[in-house]
Amino acid sequence: MLPPALVSVYRKYKKHTNSIASWLASTAKECGYPADLLSNPPAPKQPAPRLKGKARAEAKKKAKVAPQESTPQNEGPRYIIEIKDFVPLAECISAYKKPALSVPRTFFSTLNRVIEARTGFSIELAASNQKRDDNSDARHSYFKVREVLKPHSDPVGSGSSKEAETLTNKFKEVEVYHLSEKFLNAKDIERPGPANNDDVIYEADAGDSVDEAFFAYKLLCEDLNDIRTFITYTWEMHIEAEEGGDNIDPGMMAVVTNTAIEFGSTLAEDVKPLLEKHGGIKAMADDLMSGFLIDQEVDMNKFREQVAKGSVNEKVYAVMSHCCYHTRLSIETLAQVPWKGSVGIYPDGTFSVLDPDTGWEDKSMSQRLTEEQVILAELWTEAMALVYQVPDYPFSDEFIGGVKEFEETKQVPFSVIFAGQVILDVYKVIGSYAESSVDTLLKRITNMNEELKAHIEFQKDIKSPHWSSRDRRRRHRMQRVKYLDHVDRFRLESLCP
């Protein structure tokens, strides 16, 4: 079962907008709206080139992580309805008098949720000095649809408009950089279905304007930060166990953490096509930081100096963390250093010395930024050693997988940035407790290896037709355990030739 944090605000928002498009289009068609004006099918997908080797294996892994929705074999044709067409559809429904239609309360409930999210985004843009494209303001279309259809609201749901107005007013108090907390925490609602069981699949298309890209990026940030919060909470429970609370297996927490990171990377892939039209996630993060710095009356050059000196204030640091800014900057800097074999492995303390015993909040800003760079540098160089020196290493996680992708493409993928950010989050929580987790891991591996050796020695004289396969499996497990020794030996040999 996935934890509550693994719920996508962006996917939830898309479900809402698609259900609005479906009800408007199917109902307008029943009211005489020309069917040919609805015939806007999506462009046919071009067959993807056949992947090979590592790329194919990576694609299969990501396909397993992404939640798949079942698609009926007999579903009808699929049409795309642009947001700008919502108002003409609503006007057609409003003008129909044979007989006049009653708009279901589920439609207004869903519409109000969307307006709530868009209103928060508009307020946030204004508060953070971001440029707006008024011609692409989707919020206006949703407001207009609600005003056009309000006279036809179902009497049972007549309070919907007042509810939405209240929500809109409350958004004046929304804290900047957290536009969707209310949207995410709200209970799921029943969404309107197509009229008269129309079998056509209608999907909303908000376009690819810079505003829409930035809106998608902000929702993505909310998703990723909720995942980070959940992972942090999980590792806090580990500390409680160390201090006498309920025992939680660190191996289980590691699996949960990596699964959550994979989910976050999949969400980033969802919005990647839209964001790439405006420079990608990197450009969106830069715009977010730039807008916030303008609000703080700090120019970009001064900001860079403050980062280098470790003198940014708490507000700026919070925004940097929100969009993984410092993590991305650190990893991109490391990625520019060419790999030089064993020379790329550095002894502990080369980049600086960590202070795991001091609480994160008690450290100076300079200490925090320095320790983040140190942790990422050590992670990056050791992952590069695995990728280049032990290419058949049988164990992997999202960070190592991202470094492998970098080795093949020479482009830093967002997955490795997000994984690095989560690892930093975990370190900030557990600090010196990380050492006890490592001890637990090594003890378990040693015990497993000794038990396997004892089994093989005890049963070496057994004569059975099935023994050879069992023996082979046990020896294979021992070999996988020894891989850890291979990596450590390579590291020691590189430091002590």
Q: What is the pLDDT of residue 258?
A: 94
Q: What is the pTM of this model?
A: 0.75
**CA pair distance 316, 312, nearest whole angstrom:** 6
Q: What is the pLDDT of residue 195?
A: 67
Strand partners, 204: 81
Q: What is the pLDDT of residue 207?
A: 84
Q: What is the pLDDT of residue 161?
A: 44
Torsion sign over Cα 313, 315, 320, 321: positive
- Torsion angle of the four alpha carbons 79, 81, 86, 89, in this order, in degrees rounded to the nearest 10: -30
Is there a contact between 310 and 369 (Cβ–Cβ < 8 Å)?
A: yes
Closest CA to 289 of 129, 437, 492: 129
User: CB within 8 A of 120, min separation 6: which ones?
Assistant: 171, 174, 179, 180, 182, 183
- Torsion angle of the four alpha carbons 429, 435, 438, 444, in this order, in degrees rounded to the nearest 10: -110
Q: What is the pLDDT of residue 377?
A: 93
User: CB within 8 A of 421, min separation 6: which ones?
Assistant: 228, 321, 324, 327
Angle made by CA atoms 99, 101, 106, in degrees to the nearest 5: 160
Angle made by CA atoms 484, 486, 489, in degrees to the nearest 5: 110
Closest CA to 429 of 372, 360, 365: 360
**CA pair distance 187, 15, nearest whole angstrom:** 14
Is there a contact between 381 and 248 (Cβ–Cβ < 8 Å)?
A: no
Closest CA to 184 of 432, 6, 312, 331: 6
Query: Where do the structural domains in the chain lie, given as residue ranges?
Result: 9-46+74-209, 212-437, 451-495
Where are any strands of DSSP class E within 164-209?
201-205
Burial class (CB in 10 A: 0-12, 13-18, 19+), 16: buried
What would the 3-class secondary structure string for 32-57 be?
A: CCCHHHHCCCCCCCCCCCCCCHHHHH
Q: What is the pLDDT of residue 232?
A: 92
Is there a contact between 405 and 423 (Cβ–Cβ < 8 Å)?
A: no
Is there a contact between 375 and 427 (Cβ–Cβ < 8 Å)?
A: yes
- Going residue by residue through the chain, which has 497 residues, state the pLDDT in tens, using 9 for 90 and above: 445 545 688 888 889 999 999 999 999 988 988 877 775 555 554 444 444 455 555 555 555 544 444 444 456 678 889 888 999 999 999 999 888 788 998 999 999 988 888 877 766 666 555 555 555 556 678 889 999 999 888 665 444 444 444 433 433 333 333 444 555 555 555 666 666 666 778 888 888 889 899 999 999 999 999 999 999 988 888 777 666 656 677 778 888 999 999 999 999 999 999 999 999 999 999 999 998 998 888 888 999 999 999 999 999 999 999 999 999 999 999 999 888 765 556 666 566 678 888 889 999 999 999 999 999 998 998 899 888 888 877 778 999 999 999 999 999 999 999 999 999 999 999 887 776 666 777 777 778 778 877 877 776 666 666 555 556 665 655 555 555 555 555 555 554 54
> Strands 201-205 and 78-82: what pairing?
parallel
Q: What is the pLDDT of residue 19?
A: 92
DSSP letter, residue 152: G
The string of DSSP letters for 449-464 reads HHHHHHHHHHTTT---
Closest CA to 248 of 256, 150, 2: 256
Q: Identify whether 99 is preceded by a cis peptide bond (ω within 30 of 0).
A: yes
Q: What is the pLDDT of residue 39?
A: 58
**CA pair distance 154, 159, nearest whole angstrom:** 9
Amino acid 140 reads H
Angle made by CA atoms 305, 311, 317, in degrees to the nearest 5: 100
